Amino acid sequence: MSDSGNPGRVGVLMGGLSTERPISFKSGKAVAEALRSRGFEVVEIDVGRDIDEVLRRERIDVAFPVLHGKWGEDGCIQGLLESVGVPYAGPSVAGAALTMDKVVTIHLLRGCGVPVPDGVVWTRAQGDAPASLPFDHPVVVKPVREGSSFGITIVQDASGLAEAVSTALALDDRILIEECVAGPELTVGVLEGRALPVVEIAPKDGWFDFDRKYTKGMTEYHVPARIDDDLRDRVQAIALEAARLTGCLDSCRVDVMGGAHRGPRVLEVNTIPGMTGTSLLPMAAGAVGIDFPELCERLLRMARLRNGPA
């Protein structure tokens, strides 16, 4: 990025190789359009196995990765950009790799006093399903390294556990079986080291699965969340602490369950969340007067080469 503040040719990286490829295109194209509306020179890049050749051919000055899931949100593309010397927006290699692994993230947060759900790790080598669990049903079964609710099942009793485990193990060789924490379901955007207003996620029926995330009208969102001030302050505080511990204070989105009488519990940290005009991080930014194009520009302005030569 030049000293004049003009970042030069911006490559918006989208698509990728994960199960979230179609969603990444929606986010990426929205970001590209927003940046063009702010006067930036933008090239849209579909990330495939030949991305190293594409980066050399396109000669971009700065990258804006909008890649959800494996190989994009887990440190892989960030490491490549470090290697070729291209500054980039979003998480560092370490921050992306850490937060993509839900087990490592949960262990870190729990060890540092951030409240998280109780859970156990299960692997393909261990068999069909645990014979027993250290907490009661219902439970949530999820792959360790997936997003957009892919492979997640809420299991009401022991009879459904084996099928849920099989579903999750089809997407990852490690899965997480967690207690099902009471709502409300909340999310906190973090931008430039501060917590944005809490967003409440309220599906009209069922839980916030893939369909309810991406089908218009199936979920209502409330900004600010319909919670009391004490819970709001607590949720924002633990979200900021989770962002700090994982090295993601520039920008991220922290998902939290309200927890009823037990108090809130952090579920995960999303380093490259959905980025359309109606996604949750832009929704929270909009509540404090930051429209979508301005949000994209702010994220771009924070782009840097974290581990390159000074």
Q: Largest Cα–Cα distance in the chain? A: 63
Out of 90, 255, 259, 286, pick the active-site residue: 255
Is position 20 annotated as part of the catalytic site? yes
51, 124, 254, 303 from 298: Cα distances, Å: 25, 42, 19, 9
Do 260 and 216 reside in the same domain of the chain? Answer: yes
- Is 217 a known active-site residue? no
Q: Is 178 a catalytic residue?
A: no
Question: Are residues 123 and 103 both part of a single domain?
Answer: no
Of residues 178, 270, 279, 297, which has the active-site annotation? 270
Q: Is 38 within a domain?
A: yes
Return the residue matching tokens 């959905």: 274
Q: Are residues 204 and 156 in the same domain?
A: no
- 220 part of the active site: no
Q: In this structure, is residue 80 part of a structural domain?
A: yes
The CATH number assigned to the domain holding 160 equals: 3.30.1490.20
Structure confidence at residue 148 (pLDDT): 55
Are residues 166 and 244 located together in one domain of the fold? no
CATH number at residue 194: 3.30.470.20
Catalytic residue among 21, 36, 183, 214: 214
266 and 197 co-located in one domain: yes
Of 162, 179, 196, the residue at which a domain comes to its end is 179
Query: pTM of the full predicted structure?
Result: 0.90
Annotation marks residue 6 as catalytic: no
In a domain, 232, yes or no: yes
Q: Is residue 200 part of a domain?
A: yes
Q: Among 161, 179, 197, where does a domain finish?
A: 179
Q: Which of 237, 256, 271 is a domain's end point?
A: 271
Catalytic residue, chosen from 253, 258, 279, 297, is: 253
Query: What pLDDT does residue 127 have?
Result: 84
Do 151 and 15 lie in a common domain? no
How many whole angstroms separate alpha carbon 134 and alpha carbon 144?
Answer: 19
211 falls within a domain:
yes
User: Which residue segment(s) compose the domain that 71 sits in?
Assistant: 9-90
Regarding whether 72 and 30 lie in a shared domain, the answer is yes
148 is catalytic: yes
DSSP 134-163: SSPSPEEEEETT--TTTT-EEE-SGGGHHH
Same domain, 33 and 166: no
Catalytic residue among 15, 16, 18, 20: 20
Q: Are 254 and 243 in contact (CB under 8 A)?
A: yes
Residue 274 falls in the annotated catalytic set: yes
Active-site entry in 82, 172, 250, 268: 268
Q: What is the mean pLDDT of each run of 10 residues along the chain (310 residues)?
A: 70 91 93 97 95 92 93 92 94 94 95 96 91 92 79 90 93 93 94 97 70 67 95 98 97 94 93 87 96 97 72
Does a structural domain hold residue 276? Answer: no
Catalytic hit among 24, 27, 92, 148: 148
Inter-residue contact 141 to 152 (CB < 8 Å) = yes
Domain assignment present for residue 76? The answer is: yes
Kindly state whether residues 105 and 248 are assigned to the same domain.
Answer: yes
Please pick, among 274, 279, 286, 297, the residue that the annotation labels catalytic: 274
Examine the domain organization and report whether 82 and 153 are in the same domain: no
> Is residue 263 classed exposed, middle or buried when 0-12, 13-18 and 19+ CB atoms within 10 A define those classes?
middle
Q: Are residues 158 and 240 in the same domain?
A: no
Is the distance from CB of 204 to CB of 262 less than 8 angstroms?
Answer: no
Residue 298 lies in a domain: no
How many domains is the chain built from?
Answer: 3
User: pLDDT value at position 310?
Assistant: 40
For the four alpha carbons of 245, 90, 310 and 4, in that order, the dihedral sign comes to negative
Active site residue 270: yes
**Same structural domain for residues 158 and 210?**
no
- Say what the pLDDT of residue 186 is: 97
